[in-house]
A and B are shown apart, each in its own frame.
Chain A
Amino acid sequence: MATETLTGAQALIRSLELLGVDTVFGLPGGAILPTYDPLMDSKKLRHILVRHEQGAGHAAEGYAAASGKLGVCIATSGPGATNLVTAIADAHMDSVPMLAITGQVNSFAIGTDAFQEADIVGITMPITKHSFLVTNAADIPGVMAAAYEIATTGRPGPVLVDVAKDAQNAKFEFSWPPKIDLPGYKPITDPHGKQVQAAAELILKSHKPILYVGGGVIRAGASKELLKLAELLHAPVTTTLMARGAFPDSHPQHLGMPGMHGTVPAVTALQKSDLLITLGARFDDRVTGDVKSFAKGAKVIHVDVDPAEIGKIRHADVPIVGDAKVVISMLIAELESQMKTTKPDYEDWWVFLNGLKERYPLGYNDTDDGKLAPQYVIERIGELSGPEAIFAAGVGQHQMWSAQFIKYERPNSWLNSGGAGTMGYSVPAAMGAKVAQPERLVWAIDGDGCFQMTNQELATCTINNIPIKVAIINNSSLGMVRQWQTLFYNSRYSNTDLNTGTDTIMVPDFVKLAESYGCLAIRVEKIEEVDAAIKLAMETNDRPVVIDFIVGRDAMVWPMVPAGVSNDAVQYARDAAPIWDGEE
């Protein structure tokens, strides 16, 4: 094999290029400086200089979630690396394929509390799929290829590669492809045929099945197969917060989102079902509520690429380890053959479900203070932008409303932080998504609280010509927390006031802030201004746009199942609420 003498740093950049990476988000510092030098000459890699490493991490996540490809971020040692931690944890919770590269102090200085030394491998051990500390330049190609492999296959997740400075500087004979040495890593993608057969039998015996669809279907790129399966069976579908868009919202078989803020039809259907056909979902507590009383009468088929998810929370009657796309395809074939003799009959089930859909559609009321209804604003953004757009939400009420009132028709169009619930995700994730899919309209739908955690990436967007649109759903408060205070703490609003509304001291003034970052900034307070502002934002592509939507602060997210309570106690709206004890 032909070799070439390269430094570790050059090898790192070359490896990224050869792995097909085209974009990296990062910010340099001492321990990663050697790598930034050859990076400058790379024709294949676009480096986007962020303003905070957390932004680089979330941008890599947004890039990955929008495109299905690996997202890459780079930081220096010590504080640079620790600034990535939140984003790495976020990617771990939401199974995002991510590669985090960090510089480390010289190998001979490791362990001496050297300048900007942090044991980032140790710090991130519980929040990465795997990590590598590289102290030898010659290991770089093999480690990079292994990291790529681990991050993108099986259950995707973040992988950290920490490279000592002297390993970046040392020269060695580079060759490609390297040997990937991962004897302990064998993700299972093809399921046991017998299990698929058993699943099909169970499905055809059931009377009240539901397809409980999770983020794994999106990671697997299995939406087409899912649609075929659902229509073959004519079974109802529910998509978790992480799976919004995996199945078209416009489809009559779609009941909406399950869980704490799910639709009444979806929550109730799960509770009354006799068979959960679980596809790439992990029985999260936001979905199940009190686990013991969750879908008590249901048998469970559980499809997941990660064997450890199966039986972790809920016993599976038919466990199937495999890639969702492969499994669903096999299941379709198996069902088609079994259905020659046995036909599914879910008519009575649909009578019940259609009744629920009719009685309990998603809805909202006007605000009491005459301000804009946040749900209306979000609904209009969705309607005017259409299903080809990408929406990246922050965390809080605006996130839930974005999940509820925007209609998703395709996978990878809804980006959010589900498992970790990381405030600050939205702006950098939208930036990453726009870089990955420049031809798409990309919205960050953010809260006034979240926006203040990572809005400095607007500078990155302006300077690098990444024209995202930001809709701040400004209720002048940490709204989601405030909602819990309203419901469970006698409306005692301890430290949830942000003073960003028009009737406050307005610190900061988001319009002025956005203008100083070079954005087009618009404030919207009246209903008749909403559409015009959204359209103007959509037409403006020479710079980012920020719209400060001043909305009512008392609006609440409904339906709701209080934390830890049985899903049988789902509340359609506050008035429809029997007495429950608040907790947490």
Chain B
Amino acid sequence: MTQHVLSLLVEDKPGILTRVAALFARRGFNIQSLAVGTTEVEGVSRMTVVISLDGQPLEQVTKQLNKLINVLKIVELEADSSVARDHMLVKVRTDSSTRSQVLEAVTLFRARVIDVVSDAVVIEVTGDSAKCQAFIKVLEPFGIKELVQSGAIAISRGSKSMSEKVLR
């Protein structure tokens, strides 16, 4: 299994998410995460898709995606020339005996506590997926009551913009 981060600029049209997701399903490509939102250009959305491929060449994925009429541009973001971040919200069980240990982990991972009640805290953390996974590992012994992840969003390093050449 190899993992790839794809960035897609798409026209913000109804059904575009379905088209992309359905294409992955139909062609047998595995989506690990998919995050979508608006961009600096009106009418253009950006999707960050993390896929893991089992033997299939990445080229088939990008070529099939490119056939979707509403897809404007696709780039693969390589780890060394881009930044990828996950955003995660975790609700962890705490009591008076464990709270300080949890808060210590929060500091260590440069996470933030955003809600506290007597038997739980809600923590937010941002980082690459390795950091998020490591943080989960640390919190697990205390009891994770709820976990939400945004899926990776990614951007290239340097000054170039992905939308530069796309938009007429």
The interface of chain A, by Cβ under 8 A from chain B, is: 121-122, 125-126, 129-130, 133, 150, 182-185, 306-308, 311-312
Contact = CB atoms under 8 A, between A and B. Distances in A.
Contacts of A182: 69
A183 B168 CA distance: 8
A95 B80 CA distance: 41
16 contacts: A121-B15, A125-B18, A125-B19, A126-B22, A126-B26, A150-B69, A183-B166, A183-B167, A184-B11, A184-B69, A184-B70, A184-B71, A185-B69, A307-B63, A308-B64, A308-B67
Contacts of B15: 121-122, 125, 133
A185 B73 CA distance: 10
Given A307-B66, A311-B59, 12 more contacts: A125-B15, A125-B19, A126-B22, A130-B69, A133-B14, A150-B69, A183-B167, A183-B168, A184-B11, A308-B67, A311-B57, A312-B60
A130 B19 CA distance: 10
Q: Chain B contact residues (Cβ within 8 angstroms of A): what range?
A: 20 to 34
Contacts of A121: 15
B155 interface: no
B68 interface: yes
A185 B72 CA distance: 8
Q: Which 8 A-B pairs have the closest CB atoms?
A: A308-B63, A130-B69, A184-B72, A185-B69, A307-B63, A126-B26, A184-B71, A308-B64
Interface in B117-168: 166-168
Interface string B60-104: 100110111111100000000000000000000000000000000
B23 to A, nearest CB: 8
A232 B60 CA distance: 34
A535 to B, nearest CB: 48
Contacts of B26: 126
Contacts of B66: 307-308
Residue from B10, B67, B168 whose CB has the most chain A CB atoms within 10 Å: B67
Contacts of B166: 183
B14 A125 contact: no
B67 A183 contact: no
A308 B18 CA distance: 20
With a 10 A CB-CB cut-off, give which of A184, A185, A308 has the most chain B CB atoms: A184
Nearest to A321: B63
A306 B67 contact: yes
A307 B74 CA distance: 14
A366 B145 CA distance: 77
A74 B26 CA distance: 27
Contact of B22 (A125, A183, A306): A125
Nearest to A186: B66
Interface string B7-34: 0001100110011001100100000000
Contacts of A308: 60, 63-64, 66-67
A365 B14 CA distance: 58
A311 B19 contact: no
Contacts of B22: 125-126
A183 B57 contact: no
Nearest to A133: B14
Contacts of A129: 69
A129 B167 CA distance: 23
Contacts of A312: 60
B30 to A, nearest CB: 18
A311 B59 CA distance: 9
Given A126-B22, A133-B14, A184-B11, A311 B70 contact: no
B68 A311 contact: no
A150 B18 CA distance: 20
Nearest to B67: A308
Contacts of B59: 311
A147 to B, nearest CB: 10
A306 B67 CA distance: 8
A62 to B, nearest CB: 26
Contacts of B18: 122, 125
A52 B168 CA distance: 44
A80 B14 CA distance: 23
A154 to B, nearest CB: 9
A306 B60 CA distance: 12
A182 B10 CA distance: 12
A95 to B, nearest CB: 12
Contacts of A126: 22-23, 26
Nearest to A187: B67
A179 to B, nearest CB: 12
A312 B19 CA distance: 20
A203 to B, nearest CB: 25
A319 to B, nearest CB: 10
Nearest to B15: A121
Nearest to A150: B69
A129 B70 CA distance: 11
A312 B67 CA distance: 14
A129 B68 CA distance: 8
Nearest to B168: A183
B63 to A, nearest CB: 4
B60 A183 contact: no
A311 to B, nearest CB: 6
Given A125-B19, A125-B22, A183-B166, A311 B72 contact: no
B47 to A, nearest CB: 13
A92 to B, nearest CB: 12
A582 to B, nearest CB: 27
B75 to A, nearest CB: 14
Interface string B25-46: 0100000000000000000000
A127 to B, nearest CB: 10
B168 to A, nearest CB: 7
A185 B69 CA distance: 5
Contacts of A122: 15, 18
A430 B68 CA distance: 32
Contacts of B14: 133
B152 to A, nearest CB: 23
A263 B69 CA distance: 39
Contacts of A183: 11, 72, 166-168
A118 to B, nearest CB: 15
Contacts of B10: 184
A148 to B, nearest CB: 13
A248 to B, nearest CB: 33
Nearest to B167: A183
Nearest to A181: B11
A314 B18 CA distance: 29
